[in-house]
Chains A and B, each alone.
Chain A
């Protein structure tokens, strides 16, 4: 899983509007790419842990988690959860990122 995830991260990080991206793997390790100094790898890892907690809660409530979209005043997180606790997340600038492109990226991750 690690190599395909690395490849996906490299592709995602190059897309317009993507500030950072990350993956939580089934073994609880993290892979992170960031384009912004203020969004350090440590911060993105912490955020991925929070997203994992959120996904767990949502699934416990019998809501499926194919695609999730968390809006903040200064940015957005688009993420998807797969079986085994695997999560892929895009941290984006909402004014620059293309919704279609982000959706396509997440769909590609789901197919990896």
Chain B
């Protein structure tokens, strides 16, 4: 099996949601001919096939009409942004009144275009479409050096999420498919399965994005995610020259012993270096959590000064009411609390 990797520009996937089938066909032809090979175009004439397409494919951009049967675009837009916050949406409508424009832009639309102004020449808005499709809305985006790729993967698995982790490193790129917290498939260039997974987890820098789950072409991985992550850590250590020492010491020293039981994430808080709340999920006391993170970060610095051990960037707390992982990074602090499934703290 070859592990050669190469960077191939990913096709952008666009979904046109409009009940005017002639216009949809016109738009689709335009996209496919204006920049051949740049787009995969999906179409839907009302909300139901649109939602199905979003579930089935990793859509980058939705072009949404407002006037549609059953559920119009004014209802569909907030629903899309609630259920798929990472989706970029451009509204393209003949109902371009200012009320509609304001509503759409306030509810997460990236752009709002008057259909009557562009129907004679879609090239007028092509650059905008391309730019929006290339920029994730609120999808997770970070440098691997700052937020560990393995941390993100661990969060997805702990939370029993389904997603596609798309990684673009400096030298290679790839995808990891996660379904209900299990890693199903990984691909990087021509490599696939565990070699691809380990290769991606060993990347030293790059960007990653969490995309909506789409079914992989095949399943190449069936191991438990915790074992896979430990093996990845071991291989990474070996690559760094620590093979001899590691061979006599289990890699699990990096983390507290994992329970065999499936786990669920109960709470997430992310704050900036100046204690601004950046993100919270199911935290009923985020202010208290930020205060805790700040105080523990200070203690971490104090311990570093006392022991001269350099930065302390990770504290794991295991107890009867669950496990918490606290990360102290230069630009942010993170708290993730989890418990065994069915034992919410």
Asked if A100 is an interface residue, CB under 8 A from chain B, the answer is yes
**Which listed residue (A62, A65, A99) contacts B253, Cβ 8 A?**
A99
Q: How far is the CA of A51 from the CA of B296 in the complex (A)?
A: 10
Within 8 A of B (CB), among A44-90: 46-47, 50-51, 53-54, 57-58, 61-77
Q: How far is the CA of A17 from the CA of B253 in the complex (A)?
A: 11
Contact assessment for B320 and A50 in the assembled complex, using a CB-CB cutoff below 8 Å = no
Q: How far is the CA of A69 from the CA of B324 in the complex (A)?
A: 11
Q: How far is the CA of A96 from the CA of B247 in the complex (A)?
A: 10
**Which listed residue (B246, B312, B314, B319) contacts A95, Cβ 8 A?**
B246
Contact assessment for A73 and B311 in the assembled complex, using a CB-CB cutoff below 8 Å = yes
Contact residues in B for A75 (Cβ distance below 8 Å): 307, 309
Q: How far is the CA of A96 from the CA of B110 in the complex (A)?
A: 52
Asked if A25 is an interface residue, CB under 8 A from chain B, the answer is no
**Which listed residue (B289, B303, B316, B320) contacts A64, Cβ 8 A?**
B320
Within 8 A of B (CB), among A24-52: 38-39, 43, 46-47, 50-51
Contact residues in A for B292 (Cβ distance below 8 Å): 57-58, 61
Distance between A42 CB and nearest chain B CB, rounded to angstroms: 9
Binary CB contact string for chain B from 297 to 326 against chain A (1 if under 8 A, 0 otherwise):
001101110111111111111111110100
Distance between B29 CB and nearest chain A CB, rounded to angstroms: 56
Distance between B275 CB and nearest chain A CB, rounded to angstroms: 15
Q: Which residues of A contact B (CB under 8 A)?
A: 17, 38-39, 43, 46-47, 50-51, 53-54, 57-58, 61-77, 91-92, 94-100, 102-103
Contact assessment for B306 and A47 in the assembled complex, using a CB-CB cutoff below 8 Å = yes
Asked if B22 is an interface residue, CB under 8 A from chain A, the answer is no
* B interface SS class: mixed
Distance between B333 CB and nearest chain A CB, rounded to angstroms: 14
* A interface SS class: mixed
Within 8 A of A (CB), among B33-54: none
Q: How far is the CA of A100 from the CA of B320 in the complex (A)?
A: 19
Contact assessment for B245 and A95 in the assembled complex, using a CB-CB cutoff below 8 Å = yes
Asked if B256 is an interface residue, CB under 8 A from chain A, the answer is yes
**Which listed residue (A65, A91, A97) contacts B307, Cβ 8 A?**
A91
Contact residues in B for A64 (Cβ distance below 8 Å): 317, 319-322
Contact residues in A for B6 (Cβ distance below 8 Å): none
Contact residues in B for A76 (Cβ distance below 8 Å): 253
Contact assessment for B257 and A72 in the assembled complex, using a CB-CB cutoff below 8 Å = no
Asked if B295 is an interface residue, CB under 8 A from chain A, the answer is yes
Q: How far is the CA of A64 from the CA of B337 in the complex (A)?
A: 12
- A68 and B318 in contact, given A57-B296, A77-B303 (Cβ under 8 angstroms): yes
- A50 and B302 in contact, given A61-B292, A68-B318, A103-B257 (Cβ under 8 angstroms): yes
Q: How far is the CA of A69 from the CA of B313 in the complex (A)?
A: 11
28 A-B Cβ contacts within 8 A?
Answer: A17-B249, A47-B303, A50-B306, A57-B295, A58-B292, A58-B317, A61-B288, A62-B321, A63-B319, A63-B322, A63-B324, A65-B317, A68-B315, A68-B316, A68-B317, A70-B314, A71-B312, A71-B313, A71-B316, A72-B311, A73-B313, A76-B253, A91-B307, A92-B253, A96-B245, A97-B253, A99-B250, A100-B250
